[in-house]
């Protein structure tokens, strides 16, 4: 039993040294987004949307871009809210702070709208 616990502890150290947390941290630093823009990224880190500061509420689901975002970066000067359309109402997902703020979004992806809070 003691041997199993030691092996499990060693595996946990190895995972924390080389697994999800460092990979997430390196993915976070890799979120390239143009200056004064708001960007959304798919799970593999590919940017699929880059928006300049456009005050207002933007339904990206109407453009076929809904439910793809796994992370966001906000290089604008205002906070940005993300929302999901649940079939009958808009639901707040999270707020991405201004000036370089980043968020990793919950799975499964549910972002259907971007709301610049100007």
- Taking only the tens place, the pLDDT of each residue in 17-53 is 333 322 333 344 457 999 999 999 998 889 999 999 9
Residues 26 and 63 in one domain: no
Residues 69 and 108 in one domain: yes
Domain that holds residue 15: 1-30
The mean of the pLDDT values for the chain is 80
State the total domains in the chain: 2
Residues 13 and 63 in one domain: no
The answer, yes or no, to whether residue 15 has pLDDT greater than 70, is no
Q: Give the model's pLDDT for residue 44.
A: 85
Residues 49 and 105 in one domain: yes
**84-113 mean pLDDT:** 95
Q: Give the model's pLDDT for residue 91.
A: 97
Q: Give the model's pLDDT for residue 100.
A: 94
Q: ∠ at Cα 99 (94, 101), nearest 5°?
A: 35
Residues 3 and 49 in one domain: no
Please state, as a whole number, how many other Cβ atoms lie within 10 Å of the Cβ of residue 65.
17
Residues 18 and 74 in one domain: no
Residues 51 and 89 in one domain: yes
């Amino acid at each position: 039993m003691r041997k199993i616990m030691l092996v499990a502890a060693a595996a946990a150290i190895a995972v924390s040294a080389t697994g999800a947390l460092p990979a997430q941290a390196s993915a976070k630093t890799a979120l390239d987004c143009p200056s004064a823009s708001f960007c959304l990224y798919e799970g593999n880190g590919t940017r699929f949307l880059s928006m300049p500061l456009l005050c207002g509420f933007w339904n990206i689901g109407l453009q076929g871009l809904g439910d793809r975002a796994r992370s966001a970066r906000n290089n604008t000067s205002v906070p940005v809210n993300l929302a999901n359309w649940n079939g009958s109402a808009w639901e707040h997902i999270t707020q991405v702070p201004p000036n370089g703020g980043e968020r990793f979004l919950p799975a499964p992806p549910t972002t259907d709208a971007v709301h610049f809070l100007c």
